[in-house]
Chain A
Amino acid sequence: MKAFKIFVSALALAGLMGMGLTSCKEDKLGPTIFPDEEDVLDPNSYTYKLDKFLKENYLQVYNLEFRYKMQDVGTDMDYNLVPATYENSIDMAVLTKHLWFDVYKDIVNPEFLKQYGPRIIHLIGSPAYNANSGSMVLGLAEGGLKVSLFRVNAMNINDFDQMNEYYFKTMHHEFCHILHQTKSYPVEFNTISTGHYDGSNWQDRQEGVVASLGFVTTYASSAYREDFAEVMANYIVKTDAQWNRILELAARGWESPSSADDPNAYYYCFYYYKDNVAGDDNKAYAQETQVATVEEDGVTHYYLGSQRDKSGNRIVVYPVEDKDGIDGVAAINQKVEIMRNWLKNEWGVDLDALRAEVQERQVSYDIEELRKWVTEIE
């Protein structure tokens, strides 16, 4: 008992000593360790005009740092990446404003991107290659804060399709990620193509095959969220002809002469019989480019180019029957409708108005005029 008292007393003593001694000084925050630096641009700097443009059009308006000088600590260091060229950075800066920020400013409101836009746009010169899958990353949206645009050095300002595919689409794709990372999209979207996503081998799939499964691109077939972002991005930037082409592919049936288990199986949407003699042994497949289309009496006929059988008749080509059990066109349209409603209800954004504005700007911009935003800065 005595020992217990000593123990209690000792604990009390130790506790008091501990309390008294460890609380001997109140911590106070001292002055910042960082030197005071005024955020003033140097007119003698080589990059003064671009820096001033970015400051006035992104930083001051959207609180956004448009980072064109490579900072690899801001990237995944597992990738081997290189900086963007200064010249392409200027082009990307003006195009991003014209085709993304100004669109939302005009169609939605000036505050929209100020509130929901990224805080950093990071330009990177090269693609980020995934050596294992053979694919490349074109854009990244990280935590709703940063959008990285890759492959900037390969941009060809005169190649509309390339600009669309690699840059404009990527902008809207990554911004869509930011939006749904802020407000969830309806889970109903995820149910439309359940069971048909393939996160590992999407890059080996064919555009037409995934379209018939209800995906607008092969990448869309990699995961729910990518599907969602791809629907928005492609719907916005694709021309009517390009969008209708996706739907046309989606309406077709596809089959391959190879086994379904063959990872290298190539799928066709047309077949024919050699010498027009029907039978499994004579069945062969045709590429779309081999097929001649002839309209007769309001009916579409397909032939194998100008080839003829032994009797002199044209070789007849047949569309592959769509047997995947999925109405690809309906699935894509359903996804667009969900997107349309989600943007309208959650964000107050009219998807079709947005699309019309982007389409108009995409085909009408004059890069020389846009560059003057930077080059004519005093």
Chain B
Amino acid sequence: MKKLFNIMMLVAVTATAALTSCKNEVDDIFDKSAAERLTEGQEYFTNILSDKGGKWQMEYFANANEPGYVYVVTFNKDGSVKMAGNNLYIARLTNASAMAPAYGDQTSLWDVITDNGLTLTFNSYNRVFHLFSTPEDLSDTEASETGVGHEGDYEFNLMKYSNDTLYLTGKKRHIDIIMTRLSPEVDDRAYLDEVNALPAKYFNALIPDVFITLPNGARYQTAYGSTLIVSMAPEANETRTRDQDADWISYVEKHNAIITPGGLRFMEPITLYGTYEARQRYEAYWKENPEATSEPDIPNVYKVQTFDLQEDGSLLCREDGVSRIAADDLGKVFASYKIKWRVDLAAGEGELAEAISNFVSAMAARDGSTVQTLDFLVYRTTRDPATGDVIETQYMMEATVRRRRGGSFKMDFYYNPVVNADGTVKLVFDGTYNTNATSYVANVPAVQALVDAIGGATFTVTSTSRLAPVNITLTSGEGNYIEASAF
């Protein structure tokens, strides 16, 4: 009986197999063949690239160890393309020891092909662009890169087009490339000059402390942003408190980025941690699940990549809409021991500006002296012997005065800066000044008046840029302000 059962099962299985193998076609999912759709895709992207003047900004990354490079690419309908760039390696085409970027452009060929999906190819050599793909040794490294070069792609899979923005992926290295349409009126060289000036503008050397503030309020301190190889590490206090054994420097990581007029983009999404525990959990997850294909859902772990320039000059993370790159709170920036400020003697309004004006006039009336500059800067710092952190700062207002008969001297007045919880700053005069100031304090009332006006003010600090506040306004009540610049 068991045999009979087996036989009947065999019949059933065989019949089922026969029945299921009968229909040898499946319904078409698409109206057109794959080849037709590819051809249509070719035409679609060819037109997108070459229409409206065909001029694009390309955000190009060759590899993970170099900054991103901006190219202005003009696609012509005759199959030619003008590629313009302004970077160090273009400079080295004509001067091997060049250390500064240089502009270069050349016309070559482009096409949209279908060899690996829809692909944008720059298929004839362009010396200002393919230099990142040519497999020659790099002169500025000790290692031999012969056969490898920069490893940059020159063929890109066309992934998406939206709002005059093309999203591409390098065919071989799989690095994301973004192209944004430019007006055909844009002058390539002038535009690239402007772009090249942005890193130093965004990450101004006069403002050394720039932070990435995460949604939970934790901060990463950044450095070398203007090199576009951005160093970053959690603020020292957090790490030191929670990981006594680790050297803070071990938490420093570097990420390459590109800067455009629209903001900053890291080559890849980077993971930042809002707490020490979040980092521990995240790293443990990947250690235990090295083959996992999705990110774990761990609170206070953030993925950031693209930061858009805001009206206040800060850079806001596009991915979470909260993380922000900016300088420290402006009150702290003004009180920072790392930055010196020079007052614009001709700017400002109200009592503060009047006190400065009176001071300048009184000095001239006294003995023909000319007040050349009026600065706020740190006079002395006190550090924590254990950590090296600055725990106390003594500030001074310093006037540089030129004597009528030549030569100059400095009058220093000492203050202790206090940054209030609301961000305002008060400079508390400690009653002391240097010997140069002694006779003027005693004999020129406007000097004491200025010292008192500064000491009596509570400053609200504002700036047109939260990222690089090199120009600030110090306001103490409505209509009462002075202006200063970092130097």
Contacts and interface: CB of A to CB of B under 8 A. Distances in A.
A79 B149 CA distance: 11
Contacts of A71: 113, 115, 123
A73 B147 contact: no
A14 interface: yes
B78 A83 contact: no
Contacts of B113: 71
Contact of B78 (A6, A45, A68, A77): A45
A163 B135 CA distance: 21
B3 interface: yes
B39 A35 contact: yes
Given A14-B15, A45-B78, A47-B79, A22 B109 contact: no
Interface in B89-140: 108-109, 111, 113, 115-116, 121-125, 127, 130, 133-136
B22 A83 contact: no
B172 interface: yes
Contacts of B78: 44-46
B291 interface: no
Contacts of B39: 35
B483 to A, nearest CB: 53
A85 B24 contact: no
Contact of B147 (A25, A68, A131): A131
B231 interface: no
B130 A125 contact: yes
B18 A14 contact: yes
B41 to A, nearest CB: 12
B124 A84 contact: yes
B17 interface: yes
A34 B151 CA distance: 35
A89 interface: yes
A130 to B, nearest CB: 7
A24 interface: yes
Contacts of B136: 126
B7 interface: yes
B79 A129 contact: no
B24 A80 contact: no
B390 interface: no
Contacts of B190: none
Contacts of B80: 46
Contacts of A84: 124-125
B159 interface: no
B141 interface: no
Contacts of B77: 44
A80 B135 contact: yes
Contacts of A22: 18, 21-22
Nearest to A69: B123
A330 interface: no
Contacts of A68: 124
B146 interface: yes
A57 B171 CA distance: 33
Interface string B17-54: 11101101000000001111001000000000000000
Nearest to A131: B147
A191 B45 CA distance: 58
Contact of A86 (B109, B135, B149): B109
B19 A3 contact: no
B109 A46 contact: yes
Contact of B116 (A73, A81, A129): A73
A13 B11 CA distance: 8
Q: Is the interface of A mostly helix, strand, loop or mixed?
A: loop
Contacts of B462: none
A3 B148 CA distance: 71
A82 interface: yes
Given A22-B21, A46-B80, A83-B122, A33 B14 contact: no
B8 A126 contact: no
B71 interface: no
Interface string B174-194: 000000000000000000000
Interface in A307-333: none
A8 B146 CA distance: 70
A72 B153 CA distance: 11
Contact of B79 (A17, A45, A70, A153): A45
A22 B20 CA distance: 9
A296 B233 CA distance: 81
Contacts of A27: 24
B124 A18 contact: no
Given A21-B21, A71-B115, A73-B116, A83 B125 contact: yes
B277 to A, nearest CB: 43
A83 B130 contact: yes
Given A35-B35, A44-B78, A46-B80, A126 B17 contact: no
A85 B125 contact: yes
A21 B115 CA distance: 39
Contacts of A129: 135, 146-147
Among the interface residues A33, A80, A89, A127, which one has the most CB atoms of the partner chain B within 10 A? A80
Contact of B11 (A14, A25, A44, A73): A14
A17 B15 contact: yes
Contacts of A6: 4, 7
B18 A80 contact: no
Contact of A21 (B19, B35, B36, B154): B19
A260 to B, nearest CB: 29
Nearest to B146: A129
Contacts of A33: 33-36
A233 B200 CA distance: 57
A184 to B, nearest CB: 34
B111 A69 contact: yes
Contacts of B24: 25, 27
Contacts of B308: none
Given A27-B24, A125-B130, A85 B124 contact: yes
A365 interface: no
Nearest to A80: B135
B227 interface: no
A282 B329 CA distance: 81
A80 B125 contact: no
Contacts of A46: 76, 78-80, 109
A80 B148 contact: yes
B375 interface: no
Given A10-B8, A131-B146, A126 B135 contact: yes
A126 B134 contact: yes
B7 A7 contact: yes
Contacts of A77: 172
Contacts of B34: 33
Given A14-B18, A68-B124, A82 B11 contact: no
Query: When A and B form their complex, which 10 residue pairs have the shortest distance between CB atoms, in order from nearest?
Result: A129-B147, A33-B33, A14-B14, A18-B18, A46-B80, A80-B135, A10-B11, A69-B123, A131-B147, A85-B125
29 contacts: A6-B4, A10-B11, A13-B11, A14-B11, A14-B18, A18-B14, A18-B18, A18-B21, A21-B21, A33-B34, A33-B36, A34-B35, A44-B78, A45-B79, A69-B111, A69-B121, A71-B113, A72-B171, A72-B172, A73-B116, A79-B147, A80-B133, A80-B149, A82-B134, A83-B122, A85-B124, A85-B125, A129-B147, A130-B147
Given A46-B78, A70-B121, A73-B115, 7 more contacts: A6-B7, A7-B10, A21-B21, A34-B33, A47-B79, A82-B130, A134-B146
